[in-house]
Amino acid sequence: MSEAQTYLPLSPDALVAKVRELHAEGYRLVQIGATTLGETIELNYSFDRAGTLLNLRLQLPAAAAHVPSISSVYWCAFLYENEIHDLFRVHVEGIAVDYQGKFYQTTVPFPFGTRAQTAAAPAAGN
Amino acid sequence: MARTVIPFGPQHPVLPEPIMLDLVVEDEKVVEAIPKIGFVHRGLEKLVEKKDFHEFVFVAERVCGICSFIHGQTYCQAVEQIMGVAVPPRAHYLRTIWGELSRLHSHLLWLGLLADGFGFESLFMHSWRVREKVLNIIEATTGGRVIFGTCKVGGVRRDIDTAAMQSLLAQLAVIEKDMREIVDVFLEDNSVKRRLCGVGVLAKDDAYQLGCVGPMARASGLTQDMRQLGYAAFGELTFQPITRPEGDSFARCAVRCGELFQSVDLIRQAAARLPTGEIEVKVTGNPNGEFAARTEQPRGEVVYYVKANGTKNLQRFRVRTPTFANIPALVKLLPGCDLADVPILVLTIDPCISCTER
């Protein structure tokens, strides 16, 4: 089994427009995932259409990781966006349902973020 | 009308695992549901930085105690894809058989929990009685009942010989007959129908827009099943996703009932075509690259994203579980329902919090 998968680099500014385009073409939002790479946070927005996976890739500086929400296009994205905030300290602007850091009940704040992010976070958790 | 917030969970009789819903109600009607998770988050994704990629199969399998085998399999598929490992055909077929046995016991477990949820205790016990027989097959062929431990990068650790396969098929015939009796009650009994029909209706388009997966999506008419991607031996077996058009709780139950017999059929097909030969290949070197493997868990599509940089430890291991993908649909379904229907609606997404709290 070899499944075709595409990774498309994108800037945060172009994200919502591209997502609108994919929505109009009938893509399903599969997931939003984050990866900490040194002092960079890599975001993958995965979409599926007829069994083919298309990934939009954003690279953000961990110290100032801000992205616009895509929940105005795919409402279900709010869950993933709350997750990447609570675990990676990615600030997502305009989430349809924003739990304000209370979605995950973690003892360690932003446990998957960079060391600098975790150290700078309030000690009481998110 | 005054609004009241009722905490549903994290400990609740219908919840085997902790998830919390703050239910905002007006009288007996739910007007908003706010989920909270993370009560037992284990940070298993982070553990990938400390375990080497071969060893990590054991961690992946422990993401969940119900669909454990498929978790291990999906992880292996991701690593094998990155490394270009050609898994022997026999191993693909054995993975398929164990994966479908997982689906059988998971759906029977869920049917039992559903029956328990609407107060049909004898049906709950019969469902779990049959599930026990499936677990016996799993124990006989893998040595484990919860954690199979048979999947590895490059193939499988154990084989099923001809005598064991014959025994498996004979037991499967008994299980199929038992399941038929139980399913007849789930699908024909008037009290079950009255409890499930028309409750929590999710339209086909809504299911797609909300990113639903698995039986939740298929019960709303979506023909979405990751087994159609053809991983393991599924590309060589004949099956069609089981769907229902109604989109209600009864449809979600009916889809899972239908999938019980579909799994039996797939196991028989795989056993009949089981190729001879090796069950594993030697894997050398370290992975370097990335891949998102997708398989069909009992609860729906699971995504394993693996990123490696040529060392023995992976850079990133991320799991998007089917329960996580189905939570937005639950949040949409609950407003407008009666408070008494909340347990049924929560159950019909077949929530697996263990998976979600990976």
Residue in chain B nearest A71 by alpha carbon: B210
Tokens matching residue B195: 């409890």
Best B93, B294, B295 residue to mutate vs chain A (most A CBs within 10 Å): B294
A8, A54 in Cβ contact below 8 A? yes
Contact flag A3-B294 (C-beta cutoff 8 Å): yes
Q: Where are the domains of chain B?
A: 41-356
CB B154 within 8 A of CB B80: yes
Q: Report the chain B residue with the minimal C-alpha distance to residue A37.
A: B315
For residue A115, pLDDT beyond 80: no
CA distance B253 to A65: 43
Beta strands in chain B (DSSP E): 3-8, 20-26, 29-36, 151-152, 155-156, 288-297, 300-309, 316-320
Are B307 and B316 in contact by the 8 Å Cβ rule? The answer is yes
Evaluate if residue A126 carries a pLDDT over 70.
Answer: no
Locate B330 and state its tokens. 């639950």
Summarize the confidence of residues B286-311 as an average pLDDT. 94
**Domains observed in chain A:** 5-112 (3.30.460.80)
**Residue of B315, B318, B329 with shortest CB distance to A33:** B318
pLDDT for the residue numbered B174:
97
Indicate the burial class of B13 (C-beta count within 10 angstroms; 0-12, 13-18, 19 or more): exposed
Mean pLDDT computed over every residue of chain A: 87
> Are A30 and B316 in contact (CB < 8 Å)?
no
Q: Rounded to an integer, what distance in angstroms lies between the CA atom of residue B149 and that of residue B311?
A: 24
Q: Parallel, antiparallel, or unpaired for β B155-156 and B151-152?
A: antiparallel
ipTM here: 0.88
Structure tokens given for B351: 């929530």
A100 pLDDT band, cuts 50/70/90, is confident
The reply to whether residue B230 touches residue A75, judged by beta carbons under 8 angstroms, is no
Which of residues A119 and B94 earns the better pLDDT score?
Answer: B94
Tens digit of each residue's pLDDT (9 = 90 or more) over B164-173: 999 999 999 9
B318 with A76: Cβ contact below 8 A: no
B335: closest CA of chain A, how far (Å): 15
Per-residue confidence (pLDDT) for residue A124, from 0 to 100: 43
What pLDDT sits at residue B2?
87
Distance CA A72, CA A75 (A): 6
Give yes or no for residue B12 having a pLDDT over 60: yes
pLDDT tens by residue, B302-357: 999 999 999 999 988 899 999 989 989 988 999 999 998 998 898 888 877 777 77
B190 pLDDT exceeds 90?
yes
pLDDT digits (tens, 9 = 90+) for B52-84: 999 999 989 988 888 889 999 999 999 999 999
Chain B positions in Cβ-Cβ contact with residue A103 (cut-off 8 Å): 35-38
Residue B199 DSSP label: S
**CATH number 1.10.645.10 given to B41-356:** yes
The residue that leads in pLDDT, B28 or A114, is B28
What is the band of A120 on the pLDDT scale with cuts at 50, 70, 90? low
pLDDT value for A117? 67
Q: Inform me whether the pLDDT recorded for B140 exceeds 60.
A: yes
